[in-house]
C-alpha cells in the first residue's frame, strides 16, 4: 500500500445488534439494512452505541406478508407500536354520552398498510430497549441494494464462515432520506438526522461509493445462467486527496 493511500473498511456490528439483524435478515429475504447502521458498517458515519439507543431501520424489496411479519414479531418477542388510530373501540350511547367499553388493536393486515411499521422491544419494567422500523412507503429496487460481507463481532458456534452476507441500502439512498428528514420541519427527530448529516465525511463518502460495482454472478451451470449484483469491494485503497466529482 502506497504512502498516501488509505484502506477501506467494513465494520462489524456489536454482538447485541448482530443478534437482532442477522437472524431477521436470514429468515426474511425482503429486508435490507438501512438508516445509520447501514452507513456505519461501510465506514461512512460514526455511531456511538453506548450513547445512542439503536433504531434498526429496514427497507423492503416488497411488502411483508402477515406470516412474515408475525414470524419476525414472535421470534424476538416484540410488540407493535400503535397509536389511537390503530385501535377499534366498542361504544354505546348512555343518553347523550358515548361510552367506550372496550379497545381492541386492529388486525395485522391494518399495520401492513402503514407507511412506517414499527416493532419495539421492552424490558420487564416496560422500558423500551430498541425499535425496529420497516419503511413501507416505497420498495427498494435491485440496483439500490448493495451486497457486502460483514465480519461477525462474535462468530456463532457451528458457523464455518467468519462473515455474514449483508444487504444494505445504497448509501446515496440512505443519505438522501436523511437529508429530507433533516430539512423537513414536519419530521420527528429532525435534529438527530441533521446531526447525522453533519457527521458524514463527504470526501470519504465519494471514495467509498466508487467501490460499489455492478457485476455478473453465476446462478446456474448453463452459460446463460447469470444475474447482476451490486457489491461493495473494500479490498482496495483510496487516495485521500483525489478530487471530488464536482
Span 194-236, pLDDT tens digits = 888 888 878 788 888 888 887 665 555 565 555 677 888 666 5
3-state helix, strand, coil in the chain (%, to 5): 30, 30, 40
pLDDT of the residue at 189: 75
Task: Name the grid cell of 41.
Answer: 458498517
Span 11-69, pLDDT tens digits = 899 999 999 999 999 999 999 999 999 999 998 988 888 888 778 999 999 999 999 99
Cα angle for residues 6, 7, 10 (degrees, 5° grid) = 145
CA distance 91 to 205: 56
Span 95-104, pLDDT tens digits = 666 666 688 8
List of residues 6+ apart from 164 with CB closer than 8 A: 18, 22, 149, 150, 151, 152
Q: Is 50 exceeded by the pLDDT of residue 4? A: no
Q: Which residue has the cell 465519494?
A: 206
Query: Are the beta carbons of 76 and 121 closer than 8 angstroms?
Result: yes
| CATH code of the domain made up of 6-81+107-200 | 3.30.460
CA distance 40 to 10: 8
Domain boundaries, the chain: 6-81+107-200
Question: Is the Cα torsion angle 57, 62, 63, 69 positive or negative in sign?
Answer: negative
Amino acid at each position: 500500500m502506497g504512502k498516501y493511500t488509505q484502506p477501506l473498511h467494513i465494520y462489524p456490528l456489536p454482538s447485541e445488534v448482530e443478534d437482532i439483524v442477522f437472524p431477521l435478515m436470514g429468515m426474511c429475504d425482503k429486508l435490507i439494512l438501512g438508516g445509520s447502521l447501514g452507513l456505519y458498517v461501510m465506514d461512512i458515519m460514526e455511531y456511538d452505541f453506548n450513547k445512542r439507543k439503536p433504531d434498526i431501520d429496514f427497507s423492503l424489496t416488497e411488502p411483508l406478508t402477515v406470516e412474515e411479519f408475525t414470524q419476525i414479531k414472535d421470534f424476538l418477542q416484540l410488540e407493535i407500536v400503535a397509536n389511537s388510530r390503530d385501535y377499534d373501540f366498542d361504544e354505546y350511547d348512555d343518553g347523550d354520552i358515548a361510552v367506550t367499553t372496550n379497545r381492541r388493536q386492529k388486525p395485522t393486515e391494518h399495520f401492513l398498510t402503514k407507511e412506517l411499521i414499527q416493532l419495539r422491544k421492552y424490558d420487564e419494567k416496560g422500558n423500551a430497549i430498541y425499535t425496529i422500523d420497516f419503511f413501507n412507503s416505497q420498495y427498494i429496487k435491485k440496483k439500490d441494494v448493495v451486497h457486502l460481507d460483514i465480519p461477525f463481532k462474535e462468530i456463532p458456534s457451528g458457523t464455518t464462515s467468519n462473515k455474514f452476507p449483508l444487504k444494505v441500502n445504497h448509501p446515496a439512498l440512505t443519505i438522501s432520506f436523511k437529508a429530507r428528514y433533516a430539512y423537513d420541519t414536519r419530521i420527528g427527530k429532525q435534529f438527530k438526522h441533521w446531526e447525522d448529516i453533519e457527521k458524514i465525511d463527504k470526501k470519504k463518502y465519494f471514495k467509498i461509493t466508487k467501490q460499489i460495482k455492478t457485476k455478473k454472478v453465476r446462478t446456474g451451470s448453463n452459460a446463460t445462467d447469470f444475474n447482476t449484483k451490486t457489491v461493495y469491494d473494500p479490498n482496495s485503497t483510496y487516495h485521500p486527496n483525489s478530487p471530488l466529482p464536482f
